[in-house]
A and B are shown apart, each in its own frame.
Chain A
Amino acid sequence: MTDKTPTDGFSEQTVWMLAIRDQRDKAAFGKLFDHYAPRLKGFIIRAGAPRAQAEDVVQDVMLTVWRKAHLFDPTRAQVSSWIYQIARNRQIDVIRKEARPMPEALKAEDEGDMEPDAGQVMALEQETDQLRAALDKLAPAQREMIERAYLGELSHSEIREATGLPLGTIKSRIRLGLERLRHELKDLRQE
């Protein structure tokens, strides 16, 4: 797939990622690196990796982003959440020396044939913006708990106690949007 996807109104991260996926655009990768590498390093150190290892993990994650770009589907994941998944997998691999069991891929993920529906992409971006705004409004202590939960510092029972969620409403909107899409994708599931 080499046709340029129309990207009017998409976030710059999504535009970079689509250029990487569809044109193997190294300049776009450079921009994505400048944006995410420092965030990943901060995240990985906060999540408990020794400082000396942090840049190795950043390097692995960014290389994986380049190599697995064909699996990126902007209707189903923001660039940030896609990179978040890659970073978590890599860290579990490095710190716990085990591979996190992963769900079966949907067929569309396997075949990399994903003509993005611009409306779906923008809806997901808007909902993610609202989620971010909701996070920004949290009291510092609540915000801290959310960060700790998604950095992997809390057990499931601690998460249940800690995140009596003001986030819940907005997260469930994202969930509903993704669920609708999921139903459309259902037929694509592997037999």
Chain B
Amino acid sequence: MSANISHHIPPEIMAAYAAGSLPHAFSLVVATHVSMCEDCRAELAAQETVGGVVLETLDSAEVSAGLKADVLSMLDDPVPPEPAPAKRSGVYPGPVMEALKGKPPRWKALGGGVKQCVLTGEGGSVSRLLWIPPGKPVPDHGHNGLELTLVLQGGFSDETGHFEVGDVEVATDDLDHVPTADPGAPCICLAATDAPLKFNSFLPRLLQPLFGI
């Protein structure tokens, strides 16, 4: 599948993901893209290798005398069962299914035939699925800061290029773009944006998804 992917996660975003400093919604896009792209799985492993070297060489701190014995005494304790991670379903890779809690998306109309399903809104960033009819544009939208858009089905084009399944578009607030879905099948994307903070002061959080995107 990754053979045709030509738009990848930039290294600094991968480093921030590996280091845990990337906001939640963007981390969801990175984890989903890595699930689809062997090149970026390798880039992530390289970033984690640097992280490991930092861990290995940073100043250490003495641990208290009893800690080792405590840990050793717990090795044979029963392990609390962990739920298995959600499996890929149709065009939705595992991390998206995890965010959907294993259920199909519940679409809400956005106008112009476009639909959305908000997935997460934690930590100042929002992730959503977008469903765009063939040949139609995504309604005009402003975003503060970073926007990552990953194609899961179909494709779209805008001023910066053409994006197909697995491709990620990285847009910053200086990009005023009008993505238009390819003719043929509907385009389904996973998109992450910084939360529209200016709405926070006077709109309940639950209403935000109703306003623009």
Number of residues in B with C-beta < 8 Å to the partner? 64
Which of chain A's residues 150-179 have a Cβ closer than 8 Å to chain B? 150-157, 159-160, 163, 167, 171-172, 174-176, 178-179
Is A122 part of the binding interface, using a Cβ–Cβ cutoff of 8 Å? no
| CB-based contact A150/B67 at 8 Å | no
- B99 touches which one: A96, A101, A175, A176 (CB < 8 A)? A101
Nearest-neighbour CB distance to chain A for B88, whole angstroms, equals 6
Give the Cβ gap from B9 to chain A, nearest Cβ, in Å.
Answer: 10
Chain B's closest residue to A91 (CB) is: B20
Q: Complex Cα distance A155/B21, Å?
A: 6
B189 contacts which chain A residues (CB < 8 A)?
none
Smallest Cβ-Cβ distance to B40: which chain A residue: A103
Q: How far is the CB of B143 from chain A (nearest CB, A)?
A: 15
Q: Is A1 an interface residue (CB 8 A)?
A: no
Contact with A along B136-165 (1 / 0, CB 8 A): 000000000010000000000000000000
B57 at interface, CB cutoff 8 A: yes
Contact in complex: A42, B61 (CB < 8 Å): yes
A120 CB-CB contact with B under 8 Å: no
* Contact of A104 with B88 at beta-carbon distance under 8 Å, contacts A39-B60, A150-B50 already known: yes
Partner of A100, one of B27, B54, B57: B27
Q: Give the shortest distance, in Å, between B109 (CB) and chain A (any CB).
A: 27
Closest residue of B by beta carbon distance from A45: B61
B59's nearest neighbour on chain A, judged by CB, is: A42
Q: Which residues of B contact A71 (CB under 8 A)?
A: none
Asked whether any CB of chain B lies closer than 8 Å to the CB of A8, the reply is no
Say yes or no: B58 contacts A39, CB within 8 Å: yes
Q: Which of B39-87 contact A (CB under 8 A)?
A: 39, 41-64, 67-68, 70-72, 74-75, 79, 85, 87
Question: Chain A, 23-67, contact with B by CB distance < 8 Å: what is the 0/1 string?
Answer: 000100110011001111111011000000011001100110011
Are B16 and A178 within 8 A (Cβ)?
A: no
Q: Which of A88, A132, A149 contacts B57 (CB 8 A)?
A: A132
Dominant SS among interface residues on chain A: helix
Q: How far is the CB of B170 from chain A (nearest CB, A)?
A: 10
Contact status B56-A55, CB under 8 Å: no
How far in angstroms is the closest Cβ of chain B from A88?
A: 4
| Interface residue? A77 (CB, 8 A) | yes
CB nearest neighbor in A for B56: A80
Binary B-proximity of A82-110 (CB < 8 A = 1, otherwise 0): 11110111011000101011111100000
The 10 closest A-B pairs by CB, nearest first: A81-B52, A80-B52, A38-B60, A179-B42, A156-B16, A104-B94, A103-B34, A175-B46, A160-B12, A101-B31
Question: Assuming A55-B67, A147-B54, what are 17 further A-B pairs, CB within 8 angstroms?
Answer: A78-B52, A84-B51, A88-B18, A88-B51, A98-B122, A100-B27, A101-B30, A128-B52, A132-B56, A132-B57, A150-B15, A150-B18, A154-B21, A156-B22, A160-B10, A186-B38, A191-B88
A-B pairs with beta carbons under 8 Å apart, 8 shown: A82-B48, A101-B95, A102-B31, A154-B16, A156-B146, A171-B49, A175-B42, A181-B42
